[in-house]
Amino acid sequence: MALISIVVPCYNEQEALPFFYKKTLQVAEDIKNKLGDEVEFIFVDDGSKDDTMQVIKQLAAEDARVRYVSFSRNFGKEAAMYAGLKAAKGDYISLMDADLQDPPELLVEMTQTLKLGEYDCVASRRTTRKGEPVIRSFFARMFYRLINRISKTDIVDGARDFRLMTRQMANAVLDMPEYNRFSKGIFGWVGFKTKWLEYINVERVAGETKWSFWKLFLYSLEGIVAFSTAPLALASVFGILMCVVAMGFIIFIIVRTLIWGDPTNGWPSMMCVIILIGGIQLLCIGILGQYMSKIYLETKHRPLYIIKEEK
Ligand code: UDP
Ligand code: MG
């Protein structure tokens, strides 16, 4: 008999949580009947501003398998997942969203697969981005293309955080206490053998998404900075390119002057060149700044989250 921990990060999920609990409870029954395994719930309240905590406490009062961690403020889903993994006692640990976008019934199959011993992790990826704004899908695709090109870590397009992993893999993830967490990259980085289950995207059951386009955009930058140093080389590449172009120009101007003399003109073209080079320099300094800010935050060694209450 094994214990399966279900870690659920929750931020303002008072509407979705009752649905989630009800549905997942049925799955827990299924697992118990079919495989004989027990389930525990770990709800991580990520500083919700609504009544999420009351809902969780109510569940915990009624069901001894429900435990919780509550943060002092909103620390973000990444921190919530870390805290949940840390609190989990199971032999197999699952990460799941509270909005039922991750179908809990997959857990049965996931557990069966892991128990066979061939895989260390069963993860899910959605095959379509239907129901998502077109521009968002476009940028998401571009992001995955880019990051897989410039990073050695494999980051799977459409991968969700929903997965079941062995204790060994969870411990490996816990051994990465970095402040700037990008889970999709972390799961790839730790390695282990992962089986991918594909499923069609579903809408969230209640409440609304916490991700605006802008938040997603910043998150993608974080992913790039966390798992690739390629942008840092950009300055050198531009620099070399500019040198070559400038050399060509110098030769061209010398030859032209020798043949036709030196009529002074070309003010607009000079402005263009100055602005272009200035722009490239600012871009490169900006990239340096991105990495520097991450280094700055890492060196502070601040905790990933602060716990206010737990059970
Ligand atoms: N979440 C969280 N902290 C946050 C934002 C989100 O713990 O700051 C949780 C949220 O409660 C949900 C999961 O992360 O369980 C996924 O969030 P959401 O459904 O808003 O994201 P989406 O599915 O739209 O990508
Ligand atoms: Mg969701």
Residue closest via CA to ligand 1's atom 16 equals 97
- CATH superfamily for 3-228 is Spore Coat Polysaccharide Biosynthesis Protein SpsA; Chain A (3.90.550.10)
CB of 77 shorter than 6 A to ligand 1 = yes
Band the pLDDT of 165: cuts 50, 70, 90.
very high
Question: For residue 186, which phi and psi values (nearest 5 degrees)?
Answer: -60, -45
Residue closest via CA to ligand 1's atom 18 equals 209
pTM of the predicted model, to two decimals? 0.80
Band the pLDDT of 152: cuts 50, 70, 90.
confident
The predicted pLDDT at position 174 comes to 93
Chain segment 204-229, per-residue pLDDT in tens: 777 777 788 888 888 888 888 888 88
The predicted pLDDT at position 84 comes to 95
Can you tell me the mean pLDDT for 174-191?
Answer: 88
177 pLDDT higher than 90: no
Can you tell me the mean pLDDT for 70-92?
Answer: 93
The predicted pLDDT at position 201 comes to 72
156 pLDDT higher than 80: yes
Task: Provide the residue ranges of all domains of the chain, joining segments of one domain with +.
Answer: 3-228, 230-300
Q: Which ligand is nearest to the CA of 77?
A: 1
Cβ–Cβ under 8 Å, residues 239 and 163: no
Can you tell me the mean pLDDT for 77-83?
Answer: 93
The predicted pLDDT at position 88 comes to 93
